[in-house]
């Protein structure tokens, strides 16, 4: 009985604290939201005025702010800095630096609370100041909290500065998801390519870096990637095959055709898609052959690629009625198929497609053909 009573007392106390927390938090949050909305409504027209008139100096009301108003201004300016380009953006970033918001956020990267450090990293990403590259890079690499590292890496990527590339690679070594690095590198764009290719040559994350090069779509040394088409790891071969579609050009076609005969469906599918993207007609017959391997996803990729080639769609139509199901689906899913439905049923193409087994409205033709037989 005593134990029950003591436990009841403890639980009752805990419940009282929880209720107090609920009430306090709700009130605090509601009040904070209203206050933030009010301040945002005051500051927004001033910021818009400043952004709209590049010649005018920044309004006095935007200078020397502190506390919540300063933080709100930093957020607002940061949100505009990410969307503006050119001189307007430079002015905004200049104001953020001049008024000390960037320095405040950099200092906050060393706060004790992980929440504050993450918020500071997020703001630095939005403020787009190049002063933040090194501090964010160090945070992405060294912060004790994995979420803070991720936020810092993401913010670093949004700065678009190529100096971030080696820092981000170090962050990946410390557990930041590779996709964050990849997204960041793609945002940095061409300027990141030499650094990435150097890392590839050193053997750092070849499959990831191949993918990134492919997405950026530019390569100073496509031979580096072409060598990776023969890598013993299938993931690397797949990434290299994907990248070749964007950076390899017609010179990559022979190597990609070799991969069409590989044992891994992922590699064959990636090679097929790249061949479709490059568009060279010499890939047509190998792709048609590859679309009948019996491996569903590789067949589909090969069929779609055959359709994408220069004159591929027309060649497939001529090939009808000898079309396997993957090729037939690829033709029917192509936007160029739609006008064919308007052709008179007696013309050659509808008759060929009906014979290949295409769906209605060619069903009537198919049935008519069966009756004639």
Binder among 58, 255, 287, 326 for other proteins (CB under 8 A): 326
Angle at 175 between CA 173 and CA 177, to 5 degrees: 105
Cβ closest to other proteins, residue 33 vs residue 230: 33
Question: Considering the rule CB under 8 A, would residue 336 count as an interface residue with other proteins?
Answer: no
Binder among 104, 277, 357, 368 for other proteins (CB under 8 A): 357
Those residues with Cβ within 8 angstroms of residue 222's Cβ, 6 or more apart along the chain or in another chain: 244, 247, 248, 249, 251, 252
Q: Scanning residues 115 to 134, which ones bind other proteins (CB under 8 A)? A: 115, 118-119, 122
Binder among 71, 188, 329, 350 for other proteins (CB under 8 A): 329
Q: Scanning residues 40 to 79, which ones bind other proteins (CB under 8 A)? A: none
**Among candidate residues 303, 300, 271, the one with its CA nearest the CA of residue 287:** 303
**Among candidate residues 352, 346, 295, the one with its CA nearest the CA of residue 320:** 352
Can the peptide bond before residue 361 be classed as cis, meaning omega within 30 degrees of 0? yes
325 CB-side CA count, 13 A: 5
CB atoms near residue 50 (< 10 Å): 20
- Rounded Cα distance between 333 and 343, Å, is 17
Binding string, 133-172, against other proteins, x = CB under 8 A? ------------x-xx-xx--x---x--------------
Structure tokens at 11: 């639980």
Question: Considering the rule CB under 8 A, would residue 21 count as an interface residue with other proteins?
Answer: yes
Q: Scanning residues 259 to 298, which ones bind other proteins (CB under 8 A)? A: 296
**Minimum distance from CB of 254 to other proteins (Å)?**
27
Question: Considering the rule CB under 8 A, would residue 343 count as an interface residue with other proteins?
Answer: no
Q: Would you tell me which residues interact with other proteins (CB under 8 A)?
A: 1, 4-5, 7-8, 11-12, 14-15, 18-19, 21-22, 25-27, 29-30, 114-115, 118-119, 122, 145, 147-148, 150-151, 154, 158, 177, 179-180, 182-183, 186, 211, 215, 296, 299-300, 325-326, 328-329, 332-333, 335, 338, 341, 357-360
């Amino acid at each position: 009985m005593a134990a029950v009573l003591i436990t009841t007392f403890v639980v009752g106390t805990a419940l009282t604290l929880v209720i107090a927390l609920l009430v306090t938090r709700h009130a605090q949050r509601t009040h904070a939201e209203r206050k933030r909305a009010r301040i945002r409504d005051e500051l927004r027209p001033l910021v818009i005025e400043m952004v709209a008139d590049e010649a005018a100096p920044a309004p006095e009301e935007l200078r020397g702010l502190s506390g919540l108003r300063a933080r709100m201004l930093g957020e607002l300016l940061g949100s505009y800095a990410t969307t503006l380009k050119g001189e307007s953006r430079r002015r905004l970033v200049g104001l953020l630096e001049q008024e000390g918001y960037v320095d405040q956020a950099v200092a906050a990267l060393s706060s004790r609370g992980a929440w504050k450090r993450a918020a500071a990293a997020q703001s630095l990403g939005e403020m787009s100041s190049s002063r933040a590259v090194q501090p964010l890079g160090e945070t992405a690499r060294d912060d004790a909290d994995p979420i803070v590292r991720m936020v810092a890496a993401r913010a670093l990527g949004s700065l678009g500065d190529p100096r971030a590339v080696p820092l981000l690679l170090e962050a990946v070594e410390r557990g930041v998801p590779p996709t964050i690095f990849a997204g960041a590198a793609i945002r940095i764009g061409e300027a990141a390519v030499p650094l990435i290719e150097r890392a590839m040559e050193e053997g750092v994350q070849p499959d990831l870096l191949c993918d990134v090069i492919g997405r950026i779509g530019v390569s100073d040394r496509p031979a580096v990637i072409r060598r990776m088409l023969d890598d013993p790891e299938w993931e690397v071969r797949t990434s290299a095959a994907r990248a070749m579609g964007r950076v390899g050009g017609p010179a990559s076609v022979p190597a990609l055709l070799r991969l069409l005969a590989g044992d891994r469906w992922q590699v064959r599918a990636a090679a097929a898609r790249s061949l479709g993207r490059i568009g060279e007609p010499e890939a047509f017959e190998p792709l048609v052959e590859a679309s009948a391997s019996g491996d569903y996803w590789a067949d589909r990729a090969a069929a779609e690629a055959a359709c994408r080639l220069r004159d591929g769609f027309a060649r497939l139509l001529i090939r009808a009625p000898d079309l396997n199901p993957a090729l037939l689906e690829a033709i029917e899913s192509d936007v160029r198929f739609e006008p064919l439905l308007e052709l008179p049923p007696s013309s050659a193409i509808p008759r060929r497609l009906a014979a290949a087994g295409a769906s209605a409205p060619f069903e009537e033709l198919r049935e008519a053909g069966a009756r004639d037989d």
